[in-house]
Amino acid sequence: MCGIRTYDMASTKLEEPDARRLHAQDIRPIRYGSRLRLGMLLPSSNLAAEPDLAALLPLGCSVHTTRLKLAGSSHQELLAMTEKVEEAALLLKDAALDLIVFHCTGVSTLDPEMGDRLTARIEAATGIPAMSTAHALIEAFQALEAKWIVLVSALSRGRQRQRDALPGAFWRYSRQSLGLRENERPQHDRG
């Protein structure tokens, strides 16, 4: 063996479609971004954002990601994710994007001004409009005319911080969490 790791597909429980019987519903469009090219700065440990956006974006919209190191959730680890924001944003700039999103709720809600500081840094480095997940949450709450919001978090840490960083008029708060560990692999794909 020359050090190449192999993966035994027979040991998985996936049912692959027969290539000879490919149906129209099995063909997914290729999204080049003729209407919108969205750039996303994503935590290195995030497994959900790319498949979620690929499933949710309308035709003509594409998402292009660059990752920033984040493997934990301590205050120091969250703050460290912001150190190379300009460098990562400049990589996205090369893709001629319409908008860059800093996609990490834990970091963009680290304090009430963090989302604004991050987007200002991204825009200054690239000249491309930017927003953060903190901004997206507030805009969504306002667009929906939300009277109150319940924050459900897989992790127990960070909920109070996120609540404090967003406008207080929305929140009805509970001290419950799902009790999952950081980066725990989901048991099932959604579909």
Nearest CA to 100 among 66, 53, 56, 51? 66
In a domain, residue 40? The reply is yes
Domain with 44, as residue range(s), is: 32-144
pLDDT at residue 19 is higher than 60: no
Summarised one tens digit per residue, pLDDT across range 47-57 is 889 888 888 88
In a domain, residue 14? The reply is no
How distant, in Å, are the alpha carbons of 21, 36, 45, 127 from that of 61?
Answer: 29, 5, 24, 20
In a domain, residue 49? The reply is yes
The pLDDT of 65-79, averaged and rounded, is 90
Contact at 8 Å (CB) between 53 and 99? no
* Domain of residue 55, CATH code: 3.40.50.12500
Q: What is the CA radius of gyration of the chain?
A: 19
Residue type, 82: T
Residue by residue, DSSP assigns 30-80 as: P---SSEEEEEEEETT--SHHHHHHHHSPTTEEEEEEEE-----SHHHHHH
pTM tops 0.85, yes or no = no
In a domain, residue 122? The reply is yes
What do you get for the CA distance between the two ends of the chain, in Å?
A: 38
In a domain, residue 42? The reply is yes
In a domain, residue 176? The reply is no
Residue positions counted in the chain: 191
Summarised one tens digit per residue, pLDDT across range 23-67 is 566 666 777 878 899 999 999 998 889 888 888 888 889 999 999
In a domain, residue 18? The reply is no
In a domain, residue 21? The reply is no
- What's the structural domain count of the chain? 1
